[in-house]
Structure 1
Amino acid sequence: MTFKTHLQEKKTIAQGTTALILEKPKNFSFLAGQYIDLGLVGQKDLADYDSFRTLTLASAPQEDQLILVYRNRDSEFKNRVSELPLGSEMIIEGPFGRFILPEEDKRVAVFLAGGVGVVPFVSIIKDEIYKRSNKKIYLFYSNFSLEEAAYLKELQNLEKENSNFKSIPTFTSSNFSFPPQGGKAKPTNFETGYISMEMIEKYIDNTSQVVFYLCGTPDMIFDLRMMLNAAGVPSTNIRTESFDGY
């Protein structure tokens, strides 16, 4: 379905990462983890491809605004959005996607995210808290540096709200360290290096019995799937969502 919306706010939520806050159209509903196509209005000089972009919702279905997140890559669409004044009309098509957490599946869920691949998981985790779910969820969240880690503080706060949720950020910079003072708060649990089975098994027993949800670049998804299969995780226990060119 197609809906009209208006741009309410634009803000930087991490180095090179922008969040758009949109008015939630009347009668628009979605499931946590889904995405939409966001369209520009009145940009007749743009090709069809450049007038729309597929973006995943970071907001929970219960919230009054829609939050969309993207990396600040050089594209005609994102350049135009950066110039839009607040209040501008935009178009939403959707929602789409099946990268969701089935309520009937009571198994432990393990989320593996890279960069803005964390976005659908933010939506899902908030949704689980709103629903007072007792489902056990682990999030392994990989970024190059602390500055590039969107939603890090919010995930720490969500962890405090829900004892069934554990967030494990990991940083891949070879010289990574937390600033001695100021800056973002240091997580209680954090790792360094790329997500690995050794890292996952520090927190989770019997990995063949949990369900893995993977979201990131195509290369990351491929590598993680191969790693999980090699460790004996059945392909039926792996769900994926690829962010290409986000």
Structure 2
Amino acid sequence: MPKLRVKLARRDEIAAATWAFTLGLDGQAFSFKPGQTIDLTYPNMPTEDPAGNRRTFSIASKPGLDHLQIATRVRGSGFKQSILQADLGTTLELDGPYGSFTLPNKPSSVVLLTGGIGVTPFRSMALDAAARSLEHALLMIHSNRTPEEAPFLEELQRLASEFRRFTYRPTMTQADRSKRPWNGDRRRVDRDYLSEVIPSQRDGSLYYAAGPERFVGAVVQILKAMGIDEDQIRFEEFPGY
């Protein structure tokens, strides 16, 4: 599969220490399904990184646009610092798409469980479902410490108000630390919480989990303890890098 050369077209801080990067396709065809990933390479990267100049990202935007969007927490790695400081117009190389972490074709009831920046593949799914008026019933449970740290919070709240088949349930586990008012859930994503918010009719539903490894591992174990069959569970971990 040949690499695509894309240009860094825009970057936006979407939450505390969390940035979205827009990659211009410059008219090149690129097809993908929401939930898939790309590998992004920074040729001649100016800052050294022991892990190299290549990273895997979930696509955060919906298909059919003239650009792609990815998002990540930016900490101290050379790769992330380089892309954060790169001039707009910098050329990057893209491989993909990869993965089968995608919604079924058949309309289904789907619960999307995510923590922090793990929301990116689910944002793509929700935007695409709304754009195409899909018949899937989507419930997204999104755990963050504070509203300031919640990527795409306002956008997803707005989308849920506009698209009736998408329900967005953010929960802030340390809302007392926030400088912004928060009137929503303040619960941890544990068995008691999921038993309350997940629809009681669970036969045939699908459960997708994405985010930090510890979050995903805990959620998968909770779902199994609730009697949900392994065949109904899909998950994708976001290791630190």
Give the TM-score, by structure 2 length: 0.92
Matches within 5 A, 1:1-246: 1=1, 2-25=3-26, 26-43=28-45, 46=48, 49-104=51-106, 106-173=107-174, 175=176, 179-180=180-181, 190-203=184-197, 204-246=199-241
CA distance in 1, matches of 2:84, 2:48: 15
CA positional deviation for 1:223: 0.8
Indicate the SS of the match to 1:202: helix
The answer to whether the Cα contact below 8 Å between 1:109 and 1:136 also exists between their aligned partners in 2 is yes
The answer to whether the Cα contact below 8 Å between 1:34 and 1:97 also exists between their aligned partners in 2 is yes
Deviation track 1:198-228 (CA, whole Å, cap 9, x = no partner) reads 3233341223542100001111111111111
Indicate the SS of the match to 2:76: coil
CA distance in 2, matches of 1:69, 1:45: 20
CA distance in 1, matches of 2:18, 2:135: 31
CA positional deviation for 1:196: 2.6
CA positional deviation for 1:46: 4.8
CA distance in 2, matches of 1:63, 1:108: 27
CA distance in 1, matches of 2:101, 2:121: 8
Q: Give 5+ residue unaligned stretches, structure 2.
A: none
Indicate the SS of the match to 1:168: strand
Indicate the SS of the match to 1:53: strand
Rate the CA distance shift 1:193–1:178 in 2: closer, same or farther, 3 A: farther
Alignment length (residue pairs): 238
CA positional deviation for 1:45: 7.9
Deviation track 1:68-93 (CA, whole Å, cap 9, x = no partner) reads 10111211111111221000111001
The answer to whether the Cα contact below 8 Å between 1:201 and 1:207 also exists between their aligned partners in 2 is no
The answer to whether the Cα contact below 8 Å between 2:46 and 2:82 also exists between their aligned partners in 1 is no
Matched-pair identity in %: 31
Give the TM-score, by structure 1 length: 0.90
